[in-house]
Amino acid sequence: MANRGEDREEPGHAASRLTGRRVAGTRAASASPAEVTLEGGLVVMVKRGDAPGAVRAEVAGLRWLGESGAVRVPEVFGHDESWMVTERVPTGPPDGEAALRFGRALAALHAAGAPAFGAPPPGGPEDAYIGLAPMRNAPGADWPTWYAEHRVLPYARRAVDAGTVRPGQAAVIERVCERLADLAGPAEPPARLHGDLWNGNVLWGTDGEVRLIDPAAHGGHRETDLAMLRLFGCPHLDRVLAGYQEAAPLADGWQRRVGLHQLFPLLVHTVLFGGGYGEQALTAARDALAG
């Protein structure tokens, strides 16, 4: 938990304190992340954690993804419980060839594996986050049971409590959970997931390489990351999927399971933002049952 002094700390001060380098300039100082230029011209991104444990979870996730040797992530220059300082990635327009390489890299990341479904990254807390929503990384033995108990049902209950999903509507989601063993497709080993892989967390570098940021990393089903990319739109998704299928073909019927894997992020958005996300979650649940 940050103390009051840390609450008032500016991004530039945090960057200097955590890197040991003087600040030459700050851009968007009131934003998070803020862009800070350090002495010598190094430009970094300075991000404040939104909740206790959030920075530790994000740093552990970035390191776990990077240690796979499969995908690239921004370098972490320093962090504490409240702030993290990372490499700034110059970005450009998405590129089809980069998308193809990204698909292959994502397949390799997933193949790097995890100790269990729901396993947190080494050094990461069990009580983590997906965006601003709490996300508990409690290990489970099989994906259908774990996905129902630790991803779908907790958020369905919160949505009912918040009034964004009616109890009668939640019954559709509960039926999906009851049938998950039949709907989930062939059993797969735990994959090393980014966990919050929407397009905003995919940086298309000017060097032609993709970097991943803001992970909610954990052990899960590899189709979940791919479904997340489709949910909120990803440039050249067809090329990403082509690269992925070339490296690690997906099990038959994966297209029919997209809605099943989108159910969790849609429920998270229902809890955080309400609006039409509840209806989208119900549509995904009905599509999964119709599978």
Query: Which positions are catalytic?
Result: 196
Helix runs in the chain, H state only: 4-7, 11-19, 54-67, 96-111, 143-147, 153-162, 167-178, 180-183, 222-231, 237-247, 258-273, 277-290
**ω before 33 within 30° of 0 (cis)?**
yes
Q: Could you give the CA distance from residue 159 to residue 284 in angstroms, rounded to a whole number? A: 15
For the stretch 258-261, contacts whose Cβ atoms lie closer than 8 Å and that sit 24 or more positions apart, written own/partner, are: 258/223, 258/226, 258/227, 258/230, 259/227, 259/283, 259/284, 259/285, 259/287, 259/288, 260/176, 260/180, 260/183, 260/184, 260/227, 260/284, 260/288, 260/291, 261/221, 261/223, 261/224, 261/226, 261/227, 261/228
